[in-house]
């Protein structure tokens, strides 16, 4: 039987893994809980439940920051746990080939860290292949990437926004903006503290973003949340206004729109003509911000295509590359050999 192939999109907030043998996609929070500095207490969605709630001896952390591996040791432990989970094994991981999607605008050292994860002896990668993330992303969004046709794809994730123009299965232009949805959550934490004297955690901020966040100002509406009052120190319920949320988010959303416009200005005319035909493809979890497509459409006059389940576009594209020989040229061998 042919060896299994595993595809990886290692995000700041969520890790997405495809196993060809198991024919499944695992999508979980990319977070680990370590007890007493050494034992894995929980990982993934289960560890996320403990985030901001754990006692001092349990450290809950996200090893990926701004789209790159910031804490290699914890990422490696976490990665091994996820692979065991998707492969339904408790100890020895069966040998497999690994197809790893890497961001475009990162250093060679940062890129190597992604590949070394799978090169780890406990994972036992037989072969490691690299895929440029925006190409997989476009395929996952349902775009035919191999044609001689310009495609614009914008992935707005948790800590990164990647804007790319593709043609013939390759990247023509790309720009990375070093923030995404997490920045909006941070802005909400700051605004709620300032406006309501209320301290809230990251999960509450994200909830407020889902409920009230919009790229276009809406008629004022409210959502009730709990936090700790700065002055009294007591748990307090507070009604948050959509206007406050809009005001604190909009500058950052505009920066993303401006970056899209900059790339459009730099796009060669023949490719621009194609983009006018097909529009812009929006992917990544944060592309689901309400009215974002309306704002970008208003600013660029281009049609906006919104992907279904946008957080999983990259891994769905990797799946297509693994499953369909037509796309096999998209994956390539890394410049430096990782495994001896
Ligand atoms: N409905 C929604 N509205 C607004 N934001 C959303 C929505 N659903 C998910 N998000 C945001 O999407 C982000 C996660 O998306 P995604 O899984 O694409 O990120 P990631 O791949 O982990 O990050 P990155 O690519 O930056 O490393 C989070 O910031 C989350 O708050
Ligand atoms: Mg991502």
| Same-domain check for residues 194 and 85 | no
Q: Is residue 337 part of a domain?
A: no
With cut-offs at 50, 70 and 90, classify the pLDDT of residue 296.
very high
Domain count, the chain: 2
Q: Does the beta carbon of 12 sit less than 6 angstroms from any atom of ligand 1?
A: yes
| Same-domain check for residues 80 and 187 | no
pLDDT tens, position by position, 256-266? 999 999 999 99
| Same-domain check for residues 167 and 265 | yes
Q: Is residue 338 part of a domain?
A: no
pLDDT tens, position by position, 144-171? 999 999 999 999 999 999 999 999 999 9
* Residues within 5 A (CB) of ion ligand 2: 11, 157
| Same-domain check for residues 114 and 21 | yes
Counting ligands in written order, the one closest to the CA of 70 is 1
Q: What distance in angstroms lies between residue 11's CA and the mean position of ligand 2's atoms?
A: 5
With cut-offs at 50, 70 and 90, classify the pLDDT of residue 124.
confident
Q: Is residue 339 part of a domain?
A: no
pLDDT tens, position by position, 66-114? 999 999 999 999 999 999 999 999 989 999 999 999 999 899 999 999 9
pLDDT for res 335:
78
Instruction: Please report, rounded to a whole number, the percentage of residues in the chain having pLDDT higher than 90.
Output: 94
The arithmetic mean of pLDDT across residues 226-252, rounded, is 97
For the cut 70, the answer to whether the pLDDT of residue 26 exceeds it is yes
| Same-domain check for residues 150 and 244 | yes
Q: What distance in angstroms lies between residue 309's CA and the mean position of ligand 1's atoms?
A: 11
Q: What distance in angstroms lies between residue 13's CA and the mean position of ligand 1's atoms?
A: 7
**Nearest residue by C-alpha to atom 28 in ligand 1:** 158
The arithmetic mean of pLDDT across residues 273-297, rounded, is 98
pLDDT tens, position by position, 181-221? 999 999 999 999 999 999 999 999 999 999 999 999 999 99
Q: Is residue 188 part of a domain?
A: yes
Q: Does the beta carbon of 63 sit less than 6 angstroms from any atom of ligand 1?
A: no
Q: Does the beta carbon of 180 sit less than 6 angstroms from any atom of ligand 1?
A: yes
pLDDT for res 85:
98
With cut-offs at 50, 70 and 90, classify the pLDDT of residue 337.
low
For the cut 90, the answer to whether the pLDDT of residue 121 exceeds it is no
Position in ligand 1 atom list of the atom nearest CA 310: 18
Residue from 157, 177, 207, 281 to probe ligand 1 pocket by mutation (most atoms less than 8 Å from CB): 157
Q: Which residues contact 76 (CB under 8 A, 6 or more apart)?
A: 117, 120
| Same-domain check for residues 24 and 92 | yes
Q: How far is Cα 325 from Cα 99, in angstroms, rounded to an integer?
A: 14
Position in ligand 1 atom list of the atom nearest CA 161: 26
What does pLDDT average to over the chain? 96
| Same-domain check for residues 156 and 121 | no
Q: How far is Cα 4 from Cα 308, in angstroms, rounded to an integer?
A: 27
Residue from 12, 181, 317 to probe ligand 1 pocket by mutation (most atoms less than 8 Å from CB): 181
| Same-domain check for residues 27 and 106 | yes
Counting ligands in written order, the one closest to the CA of 12 is 1
| Same-domain check for residues 223 and 325 | no
Beta bridge partner(s), residue 154: 163, 282
The arithmetic mean of pLDDT across residues 2-13, rounded, is 96
Contact, 221 vs 191, CB < 8 A?
A: no
For the cut 60, the answer to whether the pLDDT of residue 339 exceeds it is no
For the cut 50, the answer to whether the pLDDT of residue 340 exceeds it is no
This prediction's pTM? 0.96
| Same-domain check for residues 98 and 153 | no
The arithmetic mean of pLDDT across residues 22-38, rounded, is 96
Q: Does the beta carbon of 210 sit less than 6 angstroms from any atom of ligand 1?
A: yes
Position in ligand 1 atom list of the atom nearest CA 284: 18
For the cut 90, the answer to whether the pLDDT of residue 236 exceeds it is yes
**Nearest residue by C-alpha to atom 12 in ligand 1:** 285
Q: Does the beta carbon of 13 sit less than 6 angstroms from any atom of ligand 1?
A: yes
Q: Does the beta carbon of 157 sit less than 6 angstroms from any atom of ligand 1?
A: yes
| Same-domain check for residues 253 and 200 | yes
Position in ligand 1 atom list of the atom nearest CA 311: 18
Q: Is residue 161 part of a domain?
A: yes
pLDDT for res 80:
96
Strands (E) across the chain are located at: 4-10, 14-19, 24-29, 32-35, 39-43, 58-61, 64-65, 68-69, 96-102, 125-132, 151-156, 161-167, 170-177, 198-199, 222-229, 235-241, 280-283, 304-306
Q: Is residue 21 part of a domain?
A: yes
Q: Does the beta carbon of 300 sit less than 6 angstroms from any atom of ligand 1?
A: no
pLDDT for res 81:
97
**Nearest residue by C-alpha to atom 25 in ligand 1:** 157
CA dihedral 6, 320, 131, 314 (to 10 degrees): -90
Q: Is residue 147 part of a domain?
A: yes
Question: Which CATH number characterizes residue 84's domain?
Answer: 3.30.420.40
Q: Does the beta carbon of 67 sit less than 6 angstroms from any atom of ligand 1?
A: yes
Q: Which residues contact 250 (CB under 8 A, 6 or more apart)?
A: 215
Q: Is residue 210 part of a domain?
A: yes
The two three-digit tokens of residue 115, written as one number: 């590949």
Q: How far is Cα 321 from Cα 331, in angstroms, rounded to an integer?
A: 7
Q: What distance in angstroms lies between residue 273's CA and the mean position of ligand 1's atoms?
A: 30
| Same-domain check for residues 205 and 236 | yes
Q: What distance in angstroms lies between residue 139's CA and the mean position of ligand 2's atoms?
A: 14
Domain that holds residue 284: 143-306
Residue 326 CB neighbour total at 10 angstroms: 10
């Amino acid at each position: 039987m042919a060896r299994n192939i595993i595809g990886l999109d290692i995000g700041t907030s969520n890790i997405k893994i495809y196993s060809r043998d198991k024919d499944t996609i695992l999508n979980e929070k990319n977070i680990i809980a370590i007890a007493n500095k050494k034992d894995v207490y929980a990982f993934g969605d289960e560890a996320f439940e403990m985030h901001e709630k754990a006692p001092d001896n349990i450290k809950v952390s996200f090893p990926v920051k701004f789209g790159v591996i910031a804490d290699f040791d914890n990422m490696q432990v976490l990665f091994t746990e996820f692979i065991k989970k998707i492969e339904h094994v408790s100890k020895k991981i069966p040998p497999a080939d690994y197809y790893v999607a890497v961001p475009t605008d990162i250093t060679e050292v940062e890129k190597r860290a992604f590949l070394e994860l799978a090169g780890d002896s406990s994972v036992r990668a037989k072969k490691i292949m690299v895929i440029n993330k925006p190409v997989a992303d476009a395929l996952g969004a349902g775009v035919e990437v191999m044609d001689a046709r310009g495609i614009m794809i914008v992935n707005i994730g948790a800590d990164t926004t990647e804007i790319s123009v593709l043609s013939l299965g390759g990247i023509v232009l790309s720009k990375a903006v070093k923030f995404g949805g997490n920045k909006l959550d941070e802005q909400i934490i700051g605004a709620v503290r300032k406006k309501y004297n209320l301290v809230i955690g990251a999960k509450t901020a994200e909830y407020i973003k889902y409920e009230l966040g919009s790229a276009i100002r809406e008629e004022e509406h409210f959502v009730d949340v709990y936090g700790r009052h700065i002055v009294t120190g007591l748990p307090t319920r507070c009604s948050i206004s959509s206007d406050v949320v809009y005001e604190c988010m909009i500058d950052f959303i505009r920066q993303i729109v401006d970056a899209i416009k900059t790339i459009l200005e730099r796009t060669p005319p023949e490719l621009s003509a194609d983009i006018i035909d097909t529009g812009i493809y929006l992917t990544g979890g944060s592309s689901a911000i309400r009215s974002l497509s309306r704002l970008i459409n208003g600013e660029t006059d281009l049609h906006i295509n919104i992907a279904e389940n946008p957080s999983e576009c990259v891994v769905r594209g990797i799946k297509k590359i693994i499953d369909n020989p037509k796309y096999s040229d998209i994956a390539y061998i890394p410049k430096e050999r990782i495994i001896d």
